Structure 1
Amino acid sequence: MYKPLRALLLISGLAIGSQQLQAQQLSNSPYSRFGVGDMVNGTSSIRSAAMGGVGVASGSAALINDINPALLFYNNSVTFEAAVASELKRLSDKNTSQVDGTANLGYLALALPISRRWTTSLGLRPYSRVNFTTIASAPVTGAESTVTAYSEYSGSGGLNEVFFAHGFRIANGLTAGVSGSYLFGTIDRQESTILVDREDSTSALQKTLIHTTSRYAGLLFKGGVHYRKKVSDKASLSFGGSYTAKSNLSTDRQVAQERRYLDESLISGIVTDSLEGHTTVPQILQVGLAYDNNKNWTVGADFTQTKGSDFRGFSLEKGAGRQELGDGYRIGIGSEITPDAGSVSSYFKRVTYRFGGYYGNTQINAIASGQTVPSAHDLKDMALTWGFSLPLGRGVRPPDYTQALLNTSFTIGQLKAADTGLKEQYLRVNVGVTFNNRWFIKRKFD
């Protein structure tokens, strides 16, 4: 039998373990060098990940919806969730390839019904991740035949999000929600260059290095609406929408220049820049449609637009930084079915099965050397998804009214840039637990 205390202990253990995994940062993602990294905002829910990212219009009483705060209303029991996200990635171009892996904190969340019309939620999740290493070589102008410059660009870190959300019932079938978040985190970027003179074998090789550390902090706000209409005794149609406003983050940037030997021993170093400024993160619009049979299955479709052209890099004045991103979109479809949630003869009938997929164009627009206008990389992202919710224990029974679920999602897809020849093929696996418990229920029998 599951107790609330056991749920909290297990969630705390998952959180500590996943934070330790997060520090490993094994997976190389070249496109995370742009903006504040690979944005994972609004896609962290295991249920959504298994359904092709769908979730704007499809509510769930058992799992927390982090895409549309208006759907929190449907969480009518106290719900704890924790998850770990992992990824295996293969990067390739026309000549070479490499395989990397990573594991990170997926999210932590708690939903608490305040009244019959109001549910609140709070939690922690990643907003973006940065991890890249790129190496390039080129002859030095004026000494092309003898001197070659080897350059390495690397970055690590990312932003985290602590959120506090509320979902309300406005009228029969109509709900609304708001969410406020605090974004914080540090991103380290490093550029190093080594000059190799093939005619001079006596000098010790050195490298020049520029190290940039940016610390971010700021608030982010989201609003959402949802309307569900029963169209027959066996069917309901739902519409949903959410909007995340663009936000200006306070940014402390420090730039240091160093000279080092190849064994990393320091020759000299100086801090050349230490400034306080601003970074603007983009707005996001999501709309969705869902259809269900009022019982055990749901199918839905979502459209997401990320207004990446709103992004502005570090600057002393708000909104005055360099534009590094363009507008992106994603279309997702997904479904879920639970054959018979109350079955006592077959465990597999109580399992929830999810399937889906998505296709889109990311917001990555790079600025080429010597230019001021960003040019699109035409970076396509497509994937197939599936997953399960596996009941644990005996199910929902008094006196504890506790339900425990083991949740999984799997995503296999690719990120391909037509004009660069670079392709990322990835397998993402999310594993988490959910505990639903009805608190404050007065017992009728002792």
Structure 2
Amino acid sequence: MIKKIIVNICLLITLTAFAQEGTSSPYSFYGIGDVRFKGTVDTRAMGGVSVFPDSIHLNIQNPAHLASLKLTTFTAAGAYNTNNYKTETQEQNANRTTLDYFAVGIPTGKLGFSIGLFPYSSVGYKIQSLSGDTPPIFSRFNGIGGVNRVFAGAGYQLTKKINIGVSFQYNFGTIETTSLRFINGIEYGTRENNLSDLQGVNADFGITYQTKFKNNRSFFSSLAYTPESKLRLNNTRSIDIIQFLSSGAVGVIETAAIDVPQSTITTPSKLTIGTGYGKVKKWLVGAEISFINNSVLTNRFDDIEENFFENTIRYNIGGYFIPNYSSFSSYFKRLTYRAGLRYENTGLVLQNKSITDFAGTFGVGMPLNGTFSNLNFAVEIGKRGTVFNGLVEENYINFVVGLSFSDRWFVKRKYD
């Protein structure tokens, strides 16, 4: 029964992944959009800390952890995002419901495999303004799309204490942006349409180490590295002569294609180092630091000049607590309570101001009775950007829910 449910969920999520509008941030105009993926629900609830091995939860951030899987595991998650955007003079709210990821992990002795899909970045904004010029100029800017990643990874238990792993991703997607302008008193306006089809490949490499002390405490450390890679962009641009119709729609009077060069965007390298300590199935605390070479990023078109990118450092700290993992008398004592913090310089610089992102996270993992499966919840409360220098401050709350189905799938029956 669970297998049929998983197949149906996979089909539904695959369709949703290609159709969703994953962000409403004006900052998603730059580069390849907002980089969305922050990890699975259980790691997001711990501030993004992914140093801990787990036998029944998939870890997509470091492929070496796949060697720790003991059961075949399917995981999927979605999020409801509520955002408040404000400048020095205006304020606006927006909500989104999005897919976060889905993946399947399969253990085979010392070797573990995983395949899956997640939206890596998203573009999604709608902005309009009326200038104070004489005559006034009405402008509207829209963007949609992003980059998705299909991945396949493997982890191997090199020794009882050391795992190694590698994951390969195929990146694909479409980003479409439009800018419309009308001058008051002039019947016709103009609309510029830009379309980019993106594709490329990249890889992740990981290694983990764990050891257990005599006091039943464990120490964990991990290292994950993503080298630079290339995204190839097939760009097209057109200019429309338009007018507003009485119905409120936009009518196209004439269209002209504009030659624009094809381009390549370099995605940054990333090095993540993590460490953790605690008592497995009771409590663990950990921290990670990531160094991301975002200065290699560029925009899709050369005529976007008001920004640049800088190198990034990301800090994550978090952990979990389980009152009594094997309690028979109280279900609540078997829950996993998680919390954490994360802070990063996103790499985007506007008006000579670095755009930063800070969030506090917490969540709970709820075991499904009679199985090794879990229902996991996470909440992120954070702020990105600033109202100063003519920029936008984003205050957000993200509610994330995920399912983790774990079972023994490939066991030969002894009796028919």
- Please state if 1:235 is matched with 2:204: no
Give the alignment of 1:432-443 within 5 angstroms. 432-442=402-412
Select the residue among 116, 129, 134 that pairs with 1:123.
Answer: 116
Q: CA RMSD in A?
A: 2.3
What do residues 275-315 of structure 1 show as CA deviations (whole Å, max 9, x unaligned)? 53322221222111111213422111111222110113347
1:343·1:350 contact (CA, 8 Å) conserved in 2?
Answer: yes
Per the TM alignment, residue 189 of structure 1 is displaced from its structure 2 partner at its CA by 1.1
Select the residue among 283, 295, 310 that pairs with 1:326.
Answer: 310
Give the alignment of 1:11-30 within 5 angstroms. 11-12=9-10, 15=13, 18-19=16-17, 23=20, 25=21, 27-30=23-26
Q: Which amino acid aligns with 1:312?
A: T
Q: Residue 363 of structure 2 aligns with which residue?
A: 387
Q: Residue 364 of structure 1 aligns with which residue?
A: 348
Select the residue among 378, 390, 399 that pairs with 1:420.
Answer: 390
Give the alignment of 1:336-351 within 5 angstroms. 336-351=320-335
Per the TM alignment, residue 61 of structure 1 is displaced from its structure 2 partner at its CA by 1.2
Q: How many corresponding residue pairs?
A: 409
Q: Secondary structure at the match of 2:323?
A: coil
* Structure 1 Cα separation of the partners of residues 286 and 93 of structure 2: 34
Q: Residue 127 of structure 2 aligns with which residue?
A: 134
Per the TM alignment, residue 411 of structure 1 is displaced from its structure 2 partner at its CA by 0.6
Q: Secondary structure at the match of 2:389?
A: coil
Select the residue among 76, 86, 93 that pairs with 2:80.
Answer: 86
Per the TM alignment, residue 157 of structure 1 is displaced from its structure 2 partner at its CA by 0.5
Give the alignment of 1:205-216 within 5 angstroms. 206-216=188-198
Q: Residue 49 of structure 1 aligns with which residue?
A: 44
- Please state if 1:66 is matched with 2:60: yes
TM-score (norm 1): 0.86
* Structure 2 Cα separation of the partners of residues 38 and 358 of structure 1: 17
Per the TM alignment, residue 365 of structure 1 is displaced from its structure 2 partner at its CA by 1.8
What do residues 307-365 of structure 1 show as CA deviations (whole Å, max 9, x unaligned)? 1101133479xxxx998422222211111122222222111112111111112221112
- Please state if 1:410 is matched with 2:379: yes
2:23·2:34 contact (CA, 8 Å) conserved in 1?
Answer: no
What do residues 84-111 of structure 1 show as CA deviations (whole Å, max 9, x unaligned)? 1220001112221111100111111000
1:184·1:218 contact (CA, 8 Å) conserved in 2?
Answer: yes
Per the TM alignment, residue 432 of structure 1 is displaced from its structure 2 partner at its CA by 1.5
1:44·1:125 contact (CA, 8 Å) conserved in 2?
Answer: no
Per the TM alignment, residue 63 of structure 1 is displaced from its structure 2 partner at its CA by 0.8
* Structure 1 Cα separation of the partners of residues 14 and 170 of structure 2: 21
Q: Secondary structure at the match of 2:44?
A: helix
- Please state if 1:378 is matched with 2:354: yes
* Structure 1 Cα separation of the partners of residues 74 and 239 of structure 2: 46
Q: Residue 309 of structure 1 aligns with which residue?
A: 295
* Structure 2 Cα separation of the partners of residues 84 and 255 of structure 1: 33
Q: Secondary structure at the match of 1:94?
A: coil
* Structure 2 Cα separation of the partners of residues 247 and 99 of structure 1: 35
Q: Secondary structure at the match of 1:363?
A: strand
Are the structure 2 counterparts of residues 310 and 343 from structure 1 closer, same or farther at C-alpha, using a change threshold of 3 Å? Answer: same
What do residues 197-252 of structure 1 show as CA deviations (whole Å, max 9, x unaligned)? 4xxxxx53x22111000000110111111111223332111111111111111210
Q: Residue 233 of structure 2 aligns with which residue?
A: 251
Per the TM alignment, residue 381 of structure 1 is displaced from its structure 2 partner at its CA by 1.2
- Please state if 1:102 is matched with 2:84: no
* Structure 1 Cα separation of the partners of residues 170 and 219 of structure 2: 34
What do residues 374-413 of structure 1 show as CA deviations (whole Å, max 9, x unaligned)? x3x2222111111111112323xxxxxxx22111111111
Which structure 1 segments of 5+ residues have no match?
198-202, 369-374, 396-402
* Structure 2 Cα separation of the partners of residues 88 and 322 of structure 1: 28
Per the TM alignment, residue 172 of structure 1 is displaced from its structure 2 partner at its CA by 2.5
Q: Secondary structure at the match of 1:265?
A: strand
Per the TM alignment, residue 9 of structure 1 is displaced from its structure 2 partner at its CA by 4.1
What do residues 113-136 of structure 1 show as CA deviations (whole Å, max 9, x unaligned)? 12x211010000011000112334
Name whichever of 416-425 and 220-229 sits farther off.
416-425
2:33·2:122 contact (CA, 8 Å) conserved in 1?
Answer: yes
* Structure 2 Cα separation of the partners of residues 11 and 434 of structure 1: 12
Are the structure 2 counterparts of residues 410 and 350 from structure 1 closer, same or farther at C-alpha, using a change threshold of 3 Å? Answer: same
- Please state if 1:217 is matched with 2:212: no
Q: Residue 112 of structure 1 aligns with which residue?
A: 106
Name whichever of 416-425 and 162-171 sits farther off.
416-425
Per the TM alignment, residue 183 of structure 1 is displaced from its structure 2 partner at its CA by 0.2
Select the residue among 257, 263, 266 that pairs with 1:277.
Answer: 263
Q: Which amino acid aligns with 1:47?
A: D
Are the structure 2 counterparts of residues 232 and 323 from structure 1 closer, same or farther at C-alpha, using a change threshold of 3 Å? Answer: farther
Q: Which amino acid aligns with 1:346?
A: S
TM-score (norm 2): 0.92
* Structure 2 Cα separation of the partners of residues 414 and 155 of structure 1: 22
Which structure 2 segments of 5+ residues have no match?
none
1:329·1:360 contact (CA, 8 Å) conserved in 2?
Answer: yes
* Structure 2 Cα separation of the partners of residues 159 and 27 of structure 1: 12
2:82·2:396 contact (CA, 8 Å) conserved in 1?
Answer: yes
1:279·1:315 contact (CA, 8 Å) conserved in 2?
Answer: no
